[in-house]
Each structure stands twice: as C-alpha cells, then as structure tokens.
Amino acid sequence: MDLQAQESKYIINTYNRQPQATPLLMRGEGPYVWDDTGKRYLDFVSGLGVNSFGHCHPQVVEAVNSQLKQLMHASNLYYTEPQIRLAERIVSHSCADKVFFCNSGAEANEAAIKLARKYGKIKKANDAHEIITAKRSFHGRTLAAITATGQPKYHKGFEPMVAGFRYGEFNDLESFARLITDKTCAILVEPVQGEGGVYPAEADFLKGLRTLCDDHGLLLIFDEVQCGMGRTGKLFAYENYGVEPDVFTLAKALGGGLPIGVMAAKGEAADILVPGDHASTFGGNPVACAAANAVFTIVTAKGFLEHVAEMGNYFAQKLCELPREKVVDLRSLGLMLGLEINGDGAQVTKLCQENGLLINCIGGKILRFLPPLIVNKEQIDEAAKILQNALTYA
C-alpha cells in the first residue's frame, strides 16, 4: 500500500485529503515545494500563512539548528534565553507591554479569552464575562475559540458551546454597539478576516470599536494570528489602521514554520493574569523561540515590509487584469488577497495545482492567496499566468 492510501487507514479523517489528487510534499525551498514525483509547485498557500518567509529560510534553519544542539526544551519553572529575548522583541516592536507564550493560534486566543474574563471579574461589576466577536470570523478549534468563531457550521455537533459569546456584523459598528451590556468584558476581532474569505476591516470600524471599548471599559482584542507578522505590509495589521488593541494574538508565521503562539497585552491588561492562572508546558519552547527570533530579524530588516507592500500592490494589479466576467470581487491588504470568482473555485484550484501553483479556495467561490512575503515579481507573474489559464478553462 502506498503512503497516501495508508493515510485514511491511520489518520482520523478531518482533512479530506485525496490519495489521487493531493500531493505528497517532500521538500521546500523559498517559494517552491516539490512532491514525491519531483514536480515543483509555486506555493501561494504558504502552509496557510505559516511559511511567510519561504520554505526552510536559511536564517531560521541556522537558528533552529544551533538551538537544537544547546537546549531543546525546559520547563517554564526555569528561565530560558530565547524566550526572554523574543518577548523583549515583540514588546519593543508593538504596543504590548508583556506576552504569554503558547503553541498555536487557538491557544493564543484561548489565553486572551481567559484574560478577558478575569479582567471582567476584577475590573467590572456584574460578573462581566461576555465577549463580542464578529460573524464570519475564525479564531481556532478549541472549544472556547470555536465558540468565539462566528460561523455556525463550525459549532454544529459540538454543542453546547461555551457561554458568553455574542456576534456582531463585521464592519458594522452599530451592530457591535447594540450587543454591549453590563455583562460585556471584551470585543475580539480579526483586523483582516482570513478564513471567512479575506475581508479587511474598514478603518472607521476599528477606530469605532476602540472608542466603544474605551467608553465602556472593555478590552479590545485583535486576532492577528493570520494577518500579523508582516503579512499586510506592516509588522502588525493594526498599524495599517492607527488603532492599538489592549490584547493581540499571534501564531502562524511567527515561528517561520515551527509551532508557536503568543498573546500580547498592554497596560492594565498585561497585569491581569498572575501565577497559577494560566500555563503551557511547551509554551515558549527554546527551539520555537529561536526560530521566531530569526523571523523577527528577517521581518524587521530594512526594506522588508516595503517589499511586502510593493508585492501586494503588484499582485493585486495583476489580479485586476484577469478577465472581468470571471471576477466578482478582489479584496486585499498587503500579501493577503481574496479573489471572489464567478466559476467553480475548487476546479480552478485543481487546475492551478496541475499547472504548478498551490492556492486555497474558501467556500467554493473565494480564492485565497497567501504568497510567501519574499515573493518577487517574476513569481507573481508566473502565478498570474497559471491562474488566468485556470480561470479560462474552469
């Protein structure tokens, strides 16, 4: 039995991979990956926004290698160097004052939800514990994170959900304002909705949420798991809007391919959790933190974020040149792009893959592009050509 066929025998079927159609990826370098037949793909999925600096970035590989030989893991009962250095870098490059380390986006949001509840208990009357999130959002798959996720299809079969979540319309300030009660403790949104179909927030919406939170004593929490770490052309997406959250979460691209998550908090919010309140065995693991430190060096290098913004504009312009009758809408911020098409998105994705381009399709109609941030114009041209062909035949 070949390896792909064994998958469905041994792995619980949560991913819908197909032995005939889904590549077995063996190797990656920069923006490219290769499958077991030696076929090369231009990777505009980037591990769903994880491989933002390309596959096996030499600086990340070097940092991981050297840390691996020195100390692979230590309990958070003790200090470790890469963790403290990384915390200092996140704090010095953001609005945050302190961070908590974990291993994934869902865990980072879980920490933010716990922080918000405790904030409500300490700082507000009436046992305020309700959190308002957005419809069409995505915050991860743990029970609280999936409850925060404003998409009923992800709740189905796992009820009862966690108590205390309410859902407003994204980019509709009034609908959030209406949901605030004396039981509310926080508002949680993605500055750019990713899994929901790539919907950037409007500046007035985020500014309005900031004002609502200030007026009502609520924490404003931004989920930057997908849109953070340079993806939008700024280190953190909130910088595009001139709005600072009280808490934000990171994961995906932060470790350059290794699992790591962060909850970062500012001001009062940074001092809510105390010893015993929260913990993670692997959180702040030295190897993952060494990788993230290398990522920070790359993303903060002179000119890097300007390159992301420039490539984002260039790619958006290329997408605008696609046949008009095929395109319903194009939404983007930096190198996070969603193309809503008139046609069969799954078929387009399949044709692109056959022709050496990996892209992702949301809900059958929205093509999502998360190219590596190191992508150049030639590679964008190559992708646009493959895409145009696929759109013509799908």
For the annotated catalytic residues, the residue numbers are 138, 223, 252
CA–CA distances in Å: residue 73 to residues 63, 102, 261, 275, 289: 15, 14, 16, 21, 11
Binding string to ligand PLP for residues 327 to 366, with x set by CB under 6 A, is what?
----------------------------------------
By CB under 6 A, residue 140 contacts ligand PLP: yes
Which candidate, 267, 221, 255, places its Cα nearest to that of 97? 267
| Nearer CB in complex with ligand PLP: 138/176 | 138
Q: Contact between 46 and ligand PLP (CB under 6 A)?
A: no
Asked if residue 52 binds ligand PLP (CB under 6 A), the reply is: no
- Per residue, what are the HEC states of 20-68? CCCCCEEEEEECEEEECCCCEEEECCHHHHCCCCCECCHHHHHHHHHHH
d(CA 370, CA 354): 19
Answer for which of 41, 101, 138, 154 binds ligand PLP (CB under 6 A) is 138
Q: Which of these ranges, 29-37, 132-140, 212-220, 286-294, lies near ligand PLP under the rule CB under 6 A? A: 132-140
Q: Pick the binder of ligand PLP from 95, 99, 102, 106 (CB under 6 A).
A: 106
Question: Pairing between strand 247-250 and 219-223?
Answer: parallel
**Binding footprint of ligand PLP, residue count (CB under 6 A):** 15
Binding mask 249-288 for ligand PLP (x = CB under 6 A): --xx------------------------------------
Sheet holding 25-29, edge to edge: 25-29, 32-35, 40-43, 357-358
- Bridge partners of 76, per DSSP, are none
Among 118, 139, 210, 331, which residue interacts with ligand PLP (rule: CB under 6 A)? 139
Helix axis angle for 58-68 and 286-299, nearest 10°, is 150
Nearer of residues 95 and 227 to ligand PLP, judged by Cβ: 227
- Cα distances (angstroms) measured from residue 71 to each of 81, 86, 282: 10, 16, 13
CB of 228 to ligand PLP, least distance (A): 9
Binding mask 107-126 for ligand PLP (x = CB under 6 A): --x-----------------
Interacting span for ligand PLP (CB under 6 A) from 69-77, 98-106, 299-307, 367-375 = 98-106
Q: Is 2 exposed, middle or buried (0-12, 13-18, 19+ CB in 10 A)?
A: exposed
- Name which of residues 224 to 253 contact ligand PLP (CB under 6 A): 225-226, 251-252
Q: Is 293 in the site for ligand PLP (CB under 6 A)?
A: no
Considering only residues 190 to 219 of the shown chain, the ones binding ligand PLP according to CB under 6 A are 190, 194-195
Distance CA 364, CA 349 (A): 10
The binder of ligand PLP chosen from 67, 104, 171, 293 (CB under 6 A) = 104
List phi, psi (to 5°) of 94: -135, -175
> Is 165 an interacting residue with respect to ligand PLP (CB under 6 A)?
no
In the structure encoding, which two tokens stand for residue 111, read together?
A: 């920490």
Output 195 or 244, the one with its CB closest to ligand PLP: 195
> Which chain residues interact with ligand PLP by CB under 6 A?
104-106, 109, 138-140, 190, 194-195, 223, 225-226, 251-252
